[in-house]
């Protein structure tokens, strides 16, 4: 066993011995199907604290000739799969963590040489005279080993993209690194000695013009997780089981840490879920991640529509985004959509692949982004918060005239930020107007199925505020009247959908008259609550 070559199973042993371990060994079944195929090169990119390193350690333990892992896997799902024993500890594994290598190398400019020489040295120690003295690259040595022994390699690179992210301006280093990866993975000769390649990081593979630098890799990302979706983070089923085991409220865990949409799966941040299970505190566990400091300069970028998009999302709305122009690096930002796309990859935003909308996934992330925005000292944000708080207070006092004035003020004062000319835009304005509610309420439910239709907005207070803050059922109208909106709430029995909810409910009807440019509002208590 070496540092890079056949590293053994200790990483998986430690993960398995942790207080909480969720069985993700079915990932190995997925990988087994890719061995020796045209689809054997896989790049998985997802946010920090989503289990990348744990997965890499598991892959080491399963494939590496440098250990015997039969006892480790015998009680996990992979042991029931037909391909299990066929591939268990049958391969030479090369595994390196680029983050660690960058820190250990004396000079960052020579980190690629450091990685290459480290792997080559360990291969020479293991295979001796098989590798000619003239060979100067790790991948050259791998080729000779395969030719002489028939042994193929499983290559795992953890934090593969750290040089793309942290050394964004060092073009010479990046070119050397990409060339090294091409030499190892791309072309006829690598296809002979590579049984499986598994790259994991935060960013997808860097684009060169419009093409991936390593276009023989199949990519799975936070934008499109494909069949890798159940192996990124924790699924709802897994979190349900943990909540039952540790006596945590599933609904609270869901509101705090859920919200990432990957294919058909609702995905949770494993680090956050494990932390709340062990200490019982519902709070943000993101503050210590390395990417946190990157948020402030990102959201401070002076791109048209970026600030308004952030404010809308903080208010509970989703925003349309084009993710196709992002160049998969940290310097080529050309517009607001590039910034939003990067925030998706970092895990600070979630992406709906079907609607092509981006949004804040949960309370944990909303908390972090709120702090980041406060540090930017946006004048827009300070003003929005003050006016929104006054609007919420007026709503709770059932002062329809003040609510109407407040919405009108936000509309006219920020027409350059929030353009609205139709009914859909009115919804966006209302979302912004109730920005301050997010402190006391969950993310507003849009078009909640109710008695005989869909309520435009439903705000449900967080459990700790339920005694002091009523639920809000809001209906919007365009060129009609506020009374019409309120009557629709009653006629269609919208509050019936909240029957399990035992607190007070306010019914809020709002109208905008396009001709007079006036807003009106009527507020009543729901008499059944």
pLDDT in tens, 9-43: 999 999 999 999 999 999 999 999 999 999 999 99
Shortest CA distance to 370 belongs to which of 358, 391, 356, 384?
384
CB 54 within 8 A of CB 15: yes
Among all chains, which residue has been given the structure tokens 């050394």? 167
pLDDT category at 444 given cuts 50, 70, 90 is confident
Q: How far is CA 376 from the centre of its chain?
A: 23
> Total domain count for the chain?
3
In a domain, 4, yes or no: no
Q: β-strands 41-45, 218-220: how paired? A: parallel
| pLDDT tens, residue by residue, 398-435 | 999 999 999 888 777 665 444 545 555 667 777 778 88
Domain termination residue (choose one: 377, 397, 419): 377
Residue 473, strand partner residues: 458, 507
State whether 391 and 373 are in the same domain.
no
The whole-number pLDDT of residue 383 equals 74
Query: How far is the C-alpha of 215 from the C-alpha of 510, rounded, in Å?
Result: 53
State whether 318 and 290 are in the same domain.
yes
Domain containing residue 501: CATH number: 3.40.1350
CB 392 within 8 A of CB 398: no
State whether 349 and 368 are in the same domain.
yes
State whether 155 and 256 are in the same domain.
no
| pLDDT tens, residue by residue, 161-192 | 999 888 888 889 988 999 999 999 999 999 99
Query: How far is the C-alpha of 344 from the C-alpha of 298, rounded, in Å?
Result: 12
Q: Residue range 286-311: average pLDDT?
A: 75
Residue 125, strand partner residues: none
The domain in which residue 150 lies consists of 10-220
In a domain, 227, yes or no: no
State whether 206 and 288 are in the same domain.
no
Domain termination residue (choose one: 220, 244, 264): 220
In a domain, 208, yes or no: yes
Task: Count Cβ atoms within 10 A of the Cβ of residue 19 and give its class: 0-12 exposed, 13-18 middle, 19 or more buried.
Answer: exposed
In a domain, 436, yes or no: yes
Q: Residue range 512-521: average pLDDT?
A: 87
pLDDT category at 450 given cuts 50, 70, 90 is very low
351-355, 408-412, 469-473: range with lowest mean pLDDT: 408-412
Among all chains, which residue has been given the structure tokens 């946006």? 378
Six token digits for residue 119 = 């792997």
State whether 162 and 32 are in the same domain.
yes
In a domain, 382, yes or no: no
Among all chains, which residue has been given the structure tokens 């494993």? 270
More confident residue, 362 or 492: 362
State whether 436 and 416 are in the same domain.
yes
The whole-number pLDDT of residue 416 equals 47
State whether 173 and 253 are in the same domain.
no
State whether 336 and 412 are in the same domain.
no
Domain termination residue (choose one: 172, 197, 220): 220
Six token digits for residue 45 = 């990119």
Query: How far is the C-alpha of 218 from the C-alpha of 198, rounded, in Å?
Result: 10
pTM of the model: 0.87
209: pLDDT strictly greater than 80: no
Residue 358, strand partner residues: 319, 351
What percent of the chain shows pLDDT beyond 70? 90
Sequence-distant (≥ 6) Cβ neighbours of residue 468 within 8 angstroms? 461
Q: Residue range 305-324: average pLDDT?
A: 88
Query: How far is the C-alpha of 526 from the C-alpha of 505, rounded, in Å?
Result: 5
State whether 349 and 241 are in the same domain.
yes
State whether 314 and 295 are in the same domain.
yes
In a domain, 43, yes or no: yes
**Cα dihedral angle (355, 358, 362, 363), rounded to 10 degrees?**
-140
Residue 421, strand partner residues: none
Sequence-distant (≥ 6) Cβ neighbours of residue 91 within 8 angstroms? 63, 64, 65, 151, 152, 153, 154, 195, 196
More confident residue, 212 or 158: 158
Work out whether the CA dihedral 273, 279, 280, 281 comes out positive or negative: negative
In a domain, 312, yes or no: yes
Domain containing residue 154: CATH number: 3.40.50
State whether 419 and 362 are in the same domain.
no
In a domain, 193, yes or no: yes
Give the angle subtended at the CA of 441 by the CAs of 438 and 442, to the nearest 5°. 90
The whole-number pLDDT of residue 477 equals 86
Query: How far is the C-alpha of 361 from the C-alpha of 359, rounded, in Å?
Result: 6
């Amino acid at each position: 066993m070496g540092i890079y070559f056949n590293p053994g199973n200790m990483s998986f042993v430690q993960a398995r011995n942790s207080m909480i371990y969720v069985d993700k060994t079915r990932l190995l079944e997925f990988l087994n199907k890719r061995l020796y195929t045209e689809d054997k090169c896989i790049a998985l990119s997802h946010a920090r604290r989503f289990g990348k390193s744990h997965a890499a350690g598991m892959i080491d333990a399963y494939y590496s000739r440098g250990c015997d892992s039969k006892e480790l896997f015998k009680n996990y799902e992979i042991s029931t799969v037909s391909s299990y024993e066929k591939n268990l500890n049958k391969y030479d594994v090369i595994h390196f963590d680029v983050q660690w290598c960058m820190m250990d190398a004396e000079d960052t400019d020579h980190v690629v040489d450091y990685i290459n020489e480290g792997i080559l040295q360990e291969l020479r120690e293991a295979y001796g005279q098989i590798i000619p003295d003239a060979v100067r690259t790790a991948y050259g040595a791998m080729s000779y080993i395969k030719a002489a022994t028939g042994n193929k390699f499983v290559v795992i690179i953890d934090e593969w993209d750290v040089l793309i992210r942290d050394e964004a301006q060092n073009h010479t280093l990046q070119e050397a690194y990409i060339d090294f990866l091409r030499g190892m993975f791309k072309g006829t000769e690598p296809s002979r000695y590579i049984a499986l390649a598994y790259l994991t990081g935060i960013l997808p593979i860097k684009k060169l013009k419009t093409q991936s630098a390593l276009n023989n890799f199949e990519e799975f990302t936070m934008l499109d997780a494909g069949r890798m979706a159940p192996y990124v983070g924790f699924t709802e089923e897994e979190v349900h089981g943990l909540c039952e085991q540790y006596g945590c409220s599933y609904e609270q865990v869901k509101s705090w840490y859920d919200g990432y949409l990957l294919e058909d799966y609702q995905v949770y941040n494993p680090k956050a879920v494990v932390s709340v299970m062990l200490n019982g505190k519902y709070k943000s566990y993101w503050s210590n991640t390395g990417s946190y400091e990157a948020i402030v300069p990102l959201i401070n970028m002076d791109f048209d529509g970026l600030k308004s998009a952030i404010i809308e999302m903080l208010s509970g709305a989703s925003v349309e985004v084009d993710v196709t122009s992002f160049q998969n690096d940290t310097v080529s930002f050309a517009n607001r959509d590039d910034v939003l796309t990067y925030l998706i990859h970092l895990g600070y935003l979630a992406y709906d692949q079907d609607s092509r909308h981006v949004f804040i996934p949960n309370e944990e992330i909303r908390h972090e982004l709120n702090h980041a925005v406060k540090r930017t000292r946006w004048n827009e944000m300070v003003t929005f918060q003050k006016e929104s708080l006054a609007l919420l207070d007026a709503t709770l006092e059932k002062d329809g005239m003040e609510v109407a004035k407040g919405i009108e003020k936000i509309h006219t004062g920020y027409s350059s930020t929030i353009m609205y000319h139709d009914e859909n835009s009115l919804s966006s304005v209302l979302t912004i107007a109730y920005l301050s509610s997010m402190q006391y309420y969950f993310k507003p439910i849009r078009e909640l199925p109710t008695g005989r239709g869909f309520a435009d907005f439903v705000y449900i207070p967080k459990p700790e505020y339920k005694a002091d803050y009523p639920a809000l059922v809001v209906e919007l109208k365009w060129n009609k009247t506020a009374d019409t909106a309120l009557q629709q709430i009653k006629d269609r029995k919208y509050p019936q959908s909240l029957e399990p909810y035992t607190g007070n409910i306010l019914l809020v009807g709002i109208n905008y008259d396009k001709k007079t440019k006036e807003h009106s509002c009527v507020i009543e208590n729901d008499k059944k609550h």
